[in-house]
Amino acid sequence: MRRRTLAAVALVMVPLPLALAAGCAPVAGLHDDGRARNVKAPLALWADRTPAPRVRDEDPGDQRAVPGIARVPSGDMKDTDPAAVVRADFAADGDRPSAPDAVRSPVLHDLTDDGKPDLISAVDLDARTSLLRVYSVRDQVVTRVLAMRAVLAGVELAAGHLAVREPTKDPRYVSVTDYVWDGRRMGLWDLTLDDYRTSKNPLPTAPTNTPSPRAPA
């Protein structure tokens, strides 16, 4: 009992300036993190060096007629042989024909907004990397309108967009490269990050019929 009384007296005898200072402090208290680091602009390395322009074969939206395929008067990729189109396209690149089990099931879907389906094909080069290609009929000629090598974590079709999902170093996210027809070619619409989809949160499997937005000129 005596110890508790002495403690109470000691608190009452705290000097007035110190008591006022303690009363002004926030509940969490004050602390000093030290001197703040100076904020500086990023340091550009080798600013005098710039890359050469993209070469033609590196442009995913570069269009090329597929040789060896008959003209299609109907302008409809449904009137072509998808396997023959893929074989002819590979041969034009000097590549060997892919094994039948490496070619994924072809998908017919209108990406060029002409009311007629285009052919979307993927060929697995190995257990990780694939070639994704889109073919359309342009002036009765079967034409490759998109070609890209990618690690396909998923491919989505929605509202005229073709979204390609690829893994990132962070297993929680995938990068999404979004292509859309701009009236002349398949152009890059957007680059984003998205959550990695699992079997409990799967990708949509059926394309929607939502009207296709037009890309900015």
Q: What is the pLDDT of residues 4-62, one digit of tens each?
A: 443 444 444 444 444 444 455 555 556 666 666 676 777 878 888 877 765 555 689 99
| Distance spanning both ends of the chain, measured CA to CA | 85
Residue 208 confidence (pLDDT): 44
Is residue 83 predicted with pLDDT exceeding 90?
A: yes
**What is the average per-residue pLDDT within 62-70?**
96
Residue 217 confidence (pLDDT): 41
Give the lowest-confidence range in 90-99, 121-130, 207-216: 207-216
Q: Is the entire prediction scored with pTM above 0.75?
A: no
Is residue 142 predicted with pLDDT exceeding 70?
A: yes
112-129 pLDDT, tens per residue? 999 999 999 999 999 999
Half-sphere exposure of residue 17: CA atoms within 13 angstroms, side-chain side: 0
Rg (CA), the chain: 31
Give the lowest-confidence range in 17-21, 33-37, 130-134, 167-171: 17-21
Rounded to the nearest integer, the mean pLDDT of the chain is 79
